[in-house]
Amino acid sequence: MPSETVHLSKEQETLLDVLYCRALDNRSKSPILHDETAEEIVHRLDYDFQKLRIQRDDILHAAIRAKQFDQWARDFLADHSDATVLHLACGLDSRIHRVAPSRNVRWVDLDYPEVIELRQRFYPPRDGYSMIGSSVTDPAFLDKVQTSGPVMIVAEGLFMYLAEHEVKELLQRLTSHFQNGQLAFDAWSSLTLRLWKYQSIAAVTDASLGWTIDDLRTIEQWVPRLQLVRELSWTEAFLSARISLGFRAIFGVMNHIPSMRRMVRFLLYRF
């Protein structure tokens, strides 16, 4: 029976949409992410997940995106066994369990204080692991994160909820605080923002969207230290996953239309 109440608002509530998608993926015949922790948390939360009206493509997107970001984190840690991982806007994500870093890795999960208070009910303390309750736009949170050694920064499903100046300032602060590392995030195009209002999660949570980007050269103009390592469109990511023939046909067509292909991009930078 559910035992944990949820008190989140607007943008914060979207973390439950992502959580439920990962739980539903785990229930499928051929899970992409195999996130058993997500399903365990869903069972414990006192929340009406049915009202989110999750569709099959929502489940695929959440699972495929998370798997890609997990792999980038694993690849980085394979080369930097004593690194720091900074997971921004972590929500209730179990990335630390899926990546399973060594005890030499310093892993920091950050989200709003209300989210971290909820997260602490499900994730017990462990060596090298800490949680910070803060908005990503508050510069003070970086004072709590160690600067020595390389860092892997993961910002999954975050930047589209920030204003452009907030994204720019955050990127500048992150690359100034750490000596070197990598940054993984997903970016929406202006077309995606226009289509957002038709998504069920937009109506349910009343979340507002902000930053979009069509020309990736803007990132390196903002922060010359950032160099693009990998750009992966959501259509390419879908086509590389185990999806039905129907979805493969749909995304195959979309992948040949530049405006559709660039709607969502998974990006990996180094600095």
In a domain, 256, yes or no: no
Domain CATH number, residue 163: 3.40.50.150
Taking phi over 0 as left and psi of -120 to 50 as alpha, with beta for the rest, 211 belongs to beta
pLDDT digits (tens, 9 = 90+) for 81-140: 899 999 999 999 999 999 999 989 999 999 999 999 999 999 988 899 999 999 999 999
As for how many domains the chain has, the answer is 1
pLDDT digits (tens, 9 = 90+) for 10-22: 678 889 999 999 9
In a domain, 14, yes or no: yes
Q: What is the pLDDT of residue 208?
A: 65
In a domain, 225, yes or no: no
Give the three-state DSSP class for 255: coil
In a domain, 245, yes or no: no
CA 205 to chain centre: 18
Per-residue burial over 41-76, b if 16 or more Cβ lie within 10 Å, else e, is bbeebebebeebebeeebbbbbbbbbbbbbebbeeb
In a domain, 100, yes or no: yes
Mean pLDDT of the chain: 92
In a domain, 267, yes or no: no
pTM of the model: 0.91
In a domain, 254, yes or no: no
Q: What number of CA atoms fall less than 13 Å from residue 97's CA on the CB side?
A: 14
pLDDT over 60 (residue 203): no
Residues 65, 98 contacting (CB under 8 angstroms): no
Domain hosting 49: range is: 4-188+195-210
In a domain, 238, yes or no: no
Q: What is the DSSP letter of 162?
A: S
Shortest CA distance to 64 belongs to which of 180, 234, 268? 234
pLDDT digits (tens, 9 = 90+) for 152-186: 999 999 999 999 999 999 999 999 999 999 999 99
Q: What percent of the chain has pLDDT over 90?
A: 75
